[in-house]
Amino acid sequence: MLRVGNCSGFYGDRLAAMREMLTDGELDVLTGDYLAELTMLILGRDRAKDPATGYAKTFLVQLRECLELALERGVRIVANAGGVNPPALVAAIRELGTPARVALVRGDDLTARAGALDLGTPLGAHAYLGAFGIARALTGGADVVVTGRVTDAALTVGPAIAHFDWGHDDLDALAGATVAGHVIECGAQATGGNYAFFTEIDDPLRPGFPIAELRPDGSSVITKHPGTGGAVTVGTVTAQLVYEIDDARYAGPDVTTRLDTVSLRQAGPDRVEITGVRGEAPPPDLKVSCTTVGGYRNELTVVLTGLDVEAKAALFRRQFEAAPGTAPAEVTWSLARLDTADAATQQQASALLSVVARDPDEKVAGRAFSKAAVELALSSYPGFFSTTPPAGAQPYGVFTAGFVPQSVPRHEVVHDDGRVEPIDPPALTRPLEPLTGGPGIPLGAGPTRRAPLGTLAGARSGDKGGNANIGLWVRSDSAYPWLASLITEQTIRELLPETAALPVRITRLPGIRAVNVVVEGLLGAGVAYHARFDPQAKGLGEWLRSRHVEIPVTLLPDREEL
């Protein structure tokens, strides 16, 4: 068995988690995931200002406190905290003065070759590398492995490859470890954090971070250190399993994992067993994260209180658009009718009107935008005020996904002694074909009652570039036919009206009683573009759960109350 823990799900996660994971129980490997599409843009801009930066500085803070402890306990550390400048992080770790052997996995950075690879001229172009470089770094003796952009699951799969001596053709084992890695990659989201049924968690105050106990065949048990907060249940694991996925084929550089083969079982308190996962040969191409500064963005939200909300909003909009110099390349207006009639508090009597401007020129999106807002302060609708004072424009990012053949990145390991070892791409690949998991399940007739979807269904949602995903699941076999038949493209468009004109894809995963929904283009050009109120679609699933649908009376938990 190999025990792989996680201490970070994003750049900014709980700083104390590394020490907690090292002191609260036994581990063999400790991983940290610090990268996301937005983070790559932030780190790219950091490096553009200062060539010595571009990595996750919080990881270095954690190592300064915990690296000697990890060495004492024999725990090896694997993290993608190198960001867009992994060599600089390796140099900084060596300056800590510990005897740790540090290896670098490199080759993801394709920025200098972006034009020749038809990737345009992005600020950064980084390929998602696989796990075999991490594995070779560990078998080469590294105590700390630093990577740039690798797949999130690779942080777990790499140590498993090294420990169990898997090869490229051990597809089922690689797929099983990929599922385990996907479950623990986002930290406490696997142990009760951000969980739809959070009121059922006995100790939600400070969830412990997750651990995957991996076996030689790729099966695993997801758990956490004894005595830590949160919970590990089939529900918490399912919630993370359906987070930010596309369809039943979960593509990676080393293996395409069949999510429709996953089996989950509660194997004891805070222990969930994952078995049965099948793998297929990986696709011939690697995904490339391309980030670009798209221009400048500014936003203002004004409050409309009391009567005549629509008329007040129309007046302010006409005045703002008529102001000299306020003609940004793109302007978006949104009115949130949060007000109620005869409200007992001023907040309950108020609606919010937001205007977002984007323009290539910082002055147009900045000074001219703010000047127009300020000058209207005493000449607009009654009760005028804004939630924050007008401010300067900020650069915004655009994310696009590119693809290159697996052989394009120069995937290499730089061992602690300076030796460079190339990592060969997989010899066998298979073109990726979408797998939606079959049609809906016909549901027999019977009495129904209208109630929130979340009465029975959990959800977790997130971003995949410009797309949003919503993973829905139920906790009983009897409820799954209802969920599978309910969730269709038409239903999603009715329940979430802003999806009406967008492509919607549905994947059914009966093995884990789940349905995955992908809404294409909902997030515009990605999270850094801020296309909507919830730019990462984190709350989209909870909105869907709050919508009322027809539920068979036989499935309702408290029929008298409902």
pLDDT per residue as tens digits for the range 303-350:
999 999 999 999 999 999 988 766 888 888 999 999 999 999 999 999
* Residue 128 to residue 105: CA distance in whole angstroms: 12
Find the angle CA(348)-CA(542)-CA(552) to the nearest 5 degrees: 110
Write down the H helix ranges in 293-388.
309-322, 362-363, 369-375
pLDDT of residue 444: 65
Element (H, E) at 552: strand 548-552
* Residue 439 to residue 511: CA distance in whole angstroms: 14
Please give the domain boundaries of the chain with CATH numbers for all domains. Answer: 2-284+406-422 (no CATH), 294-398 (3.30.70), 448-555 (no CATH)
pLDDT of residue 156: 98
Q: What is the 3-state secondary structure (H, E, C) of 276-290?
A: CCEEECCCCEEEEEE
pLDDT per residue as tens digits for the range 354-396:
999 899 988 888 888 888 888 998 999 999 999 988 888 888 8
293 burial class (0-12, 13-18, 19+ CB within 10 angstroms)? middle
Q: Are 508 and 440 in contact (CB under 8 A)?
A: yes
Q: Mean pLDDT in each 10-residue stretch from start to end of the chain (562 residues)?
A: 97 97 97 91 89 95 97 98 97 96 98 95 95 98 97 98 98 98 97 96 95 98 97 98 95 97 98 98 96 89 96 95 82 93 95 93 87 90 91 86 96 98 97 81 79 97 91 96 95 95 95 96 79 86 96 79 35
Q: Are 99 and 71 in contact (CB under 8 A)?
A: yes
pTM across the whole model: 0.93
* Residue 22 to residue 65: CA distance in whole angstroms: 11
pLDDT of residue 535: 85
Burial call 401-437: b when 16+ CB within 10 Å, e when fewer: ebebebebbebbbbbbeeeeeebebbeebeebeebbb
* Residue 356 to residue 351: CA distance in whole angstroms: 17
Number of other residues whose CB lies within 10 A of the CB of residue 555: 20
Q: Is 413 helix (H, G, I), strand (E, B) or coil?
A: strand
Cα distances (Å, whole numbers) of residue 503 to 247, 330, 441, 488, 557: 14, 23, 22, 12, 34
